[in-house]
């Protein structure tokens, strides 16, 4: 779950700062993610543990992502320093990134769906990330979980990616 939590935090970083990314170009975005909310279904018997149900924070999680264009209509949100990318589209100021991961095991199948929606107004980025996890089969502790996070951010100018090939 740590990788999913890290990817969720990174996934909130979507946005293109009002500029049009062309094939061969990318932008770096810095985001602040609001507190993660989880549906009651994320817990056994739909019961949020007493140790968590009243927890609150006004702190944000900061992280960075890269967005690049494959062509004039297809964009990618790069998470976890190149480990994961989610394909998306653009409609004016609005960007939509959708992805799915299916893990088939001997006694269960887990499906994770990513839905990241963002709006870019000049250099300001706002949006919501919804990650829905479902599990079917005998090996599932929890059969459904929805994690939601709102985010704000901005495009960072004058930085370059440093990834090994």
Residues 5-41: pLDDT tens digits? 333 333 333 333 345 667 777 777 888 887 788 888 8
Pair of tokens at residue 96: 């939509």
Please give the residue that has the higher pLDDT: either 46 or 160. Answer: 46
First-residue to last-residue Cα distance in the chain: 27
Domains in the chain: boundaries:
2-156
Phi/psi for 85 (5° steps) reads: -130, 145
Q: Which CATH architecture has domain 2-156?
A: Beta Barrel (2.40)
Q: Tell which residue, 110, 104, 70, 112, has the closest CA to residue 87.
A: 70
Confidence tier at 161 by pLDDT (50, 70, 90)? low
Contact (Cβ atoms closer than 8 angstroms) between residue 11 and residue 64: no
User: Is 159 strand, coil or helix?
Assistant: coil
At 75-126, the pLDDT tens digits run: 888 876 557 889 999 888 888 999 999 999 999 999 999 999 988 777 788 8
pLDDT, residue 141, reads 81
How many other C-beta atoms can be found within 10 angstroms of the C-beta atom of residue 57? 9
Contact (Cβ atoms closer than 8 angstroms) between residue 159 and residue 131: no
């Amino acid at each position: 779950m740590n990788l999913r939590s890290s990817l969720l935090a990174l996934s909130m970083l979507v946005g293109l700062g009002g500029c049009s990314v062309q094939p061969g170009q990318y932008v770096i975005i810095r985001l602040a993610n609001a507190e993660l909310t989880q549906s009651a279904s994320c817990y056994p018997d739909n019961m949020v543990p007493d140790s968590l149900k009243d927890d609150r924070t006004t702190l944000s999680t900061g992280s960075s992502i890269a967005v690049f264009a494959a062509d004039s209509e297809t964009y990618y949100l790069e998470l976890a320093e190149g480990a994961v990318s989610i394909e998306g589209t653009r409609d004016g100021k609005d960007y939509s990134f959708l992805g799915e991961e299916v893990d088939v095991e001997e006694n269960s199948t887990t499906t994770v769906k990513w839905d990241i929606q963002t709006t870019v107004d000049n250099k300001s980025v706002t949006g919501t990330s919804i990650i829905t996890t479902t599990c079917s089969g005998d090996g599932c502790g929890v059969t459904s979980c929805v994690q939601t996070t709102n985010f704000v951010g901005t495009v960072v100018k004058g930085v370059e990616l440093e990834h090994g090939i």
